[in-house]
Amino acid sequence: MATYAIGDIQGCLQPLLSLLKQVSFDSQKDTLWIAGDLINRGPESLETLRFLYSIKDNLKIVLGNHDLHLLAIARGHANLKRNDTLTEILNASDRDVLLDWLQAQPLCHYDPEFNAIMSHAGVPPCWNLEQTLAYAQEASNLLQSEYANDFFKVMYGNKPNQWDPELIGFDRIRAIINYLTRMRFCDEKGKLDLKSKEATNKSGNKDFKKWFKFPSQLPKDCQIIFGHWASLEGKVKKKRVHALDTGCVWGGSLTALCLNDWQPYSTPCPMIRPIT
C-alpha cells in the first residue's frame, strides 16, 4: 500500500494517467492525495473530474481556487473567463453529482501517520496546526451549509488580507479561503500580497517574502504539501516543504510525491496553454 500526493492537474487527464501508470498506482489498495485545482484550463476537465470521482474511495482532495471558481459559476454567482475549460462540466448530465461531491471536499488534509499536511496554497506562518485545521473546517462547514450560495456571491476579493482571529462572517471565511487557496507572498505577521504570481517578489515591498521563508508554527517535523504556484517549478529549497505544482497545464510536468519514502516522480506534459 502506497500513498502519493499529486499537484495541480487542471484538467490534464492524460498526464495524470501516465503518472499513475509510472508509479503502478492501484486504486484498490493505494491512496492518492490531490493538492487542489483538479480542473480548468486543461483539455479534459470533465473527464478528469469523472475519473477522480470513480476512485473517490481511495482519494484525498483539498479544494483549490479553480475548483472554487467552478463551484461559484455552477451556483450562478460567477462568470466563465476566457481561458476557462469548464463548459463541459456545467453541461454534463452528471454535473450535480460531480459538483456536490466536489463542494463537500475539505480545504486542508492532515495525516498523523505521515505527519503531513496538505492545502492548495500552503500553511500561513501565523497559524499553528490546530488553528489551520480548525479554520479550514470552519470554511468547509460554511461551504456545505445553506449559506454556501450566499458566500459564493462575495467569495472573490483580496480583503481582508491580514489574519485577525476576531474576524467574523463572510470576511472571516474569505480570509481563510484566500490563505489556503491563493497565498504566495506574505509578511512576517501573515499579511498577504495577493497580486504577485511570479517566483520572486516584484511588489516593491521588501517585507513580503514567500510564505514558507518565515518560521512555521507547525510541529518541527511536519511535512507541508502544496500546489498552486507553478512559477516555483517545484523548487523551494526548504526541508519538509513540497511544492507539487510543476506547471503541467503550461507544458511543464505533473509531479507525484510518494509519502512512504518522500521520493518524487514526474511525467512531462505537452504545451496546452501558452505562457502569458
In tens, the pLDDT along 139-194 reads 999 999 999 999 999 999 999 999 999 999 999 999 999 999 999 999 999 999 99
8 A C-beta contact, residue 202 and residue 231 = no
pTM recorded for the entire structure: 0.96
The pLDDT value recorded for residue 275 is 43
- Those residues with Cβ within 8 angstroms of residue 167's Cβ, 6 or more apart along the chain or in another chain: 160, 175
8 A C-beta contact, residue 21 and residue 273 = no
8 A C-beta contact, residue 267 and residue 254 = yes
pLDDT digits (tens, 9 = 90+) for 57-101: 999 999 999 999 999 999 999 999 999 999 999 999 999 999 999
Task: Give the closest residue to 163 by CA, choosing from 184, 189, 145.
Answer: 189
Q: Which domains does the chain carry?
A: 3-268 (3.60.21.10)
8 A C-beta contact, residue 43 and residue 5 = no
The pLDDT value recorded for residue 201 is 82
Which pLDDT band holds residue 200 (cuts at 50, 70, 90)? confident
Half-sphere exposure of 246 (CA within 13 A, CB side): 24
The pLDDT value recorded for residue 20 is 98
8 A C-beta contact, residue 239 and residue 253 = no
∠ CA 260-58-8 to the nearest 5 degrees?
75
d(CA 33, CA 155): 25
CB contact burial 243-262 (16+ within 10 A = b; e otherwise): bbbbbbbbebbbbbbebeee
The total of other beta-carbon atoms located within 10 Å of residue 238's CB is 13
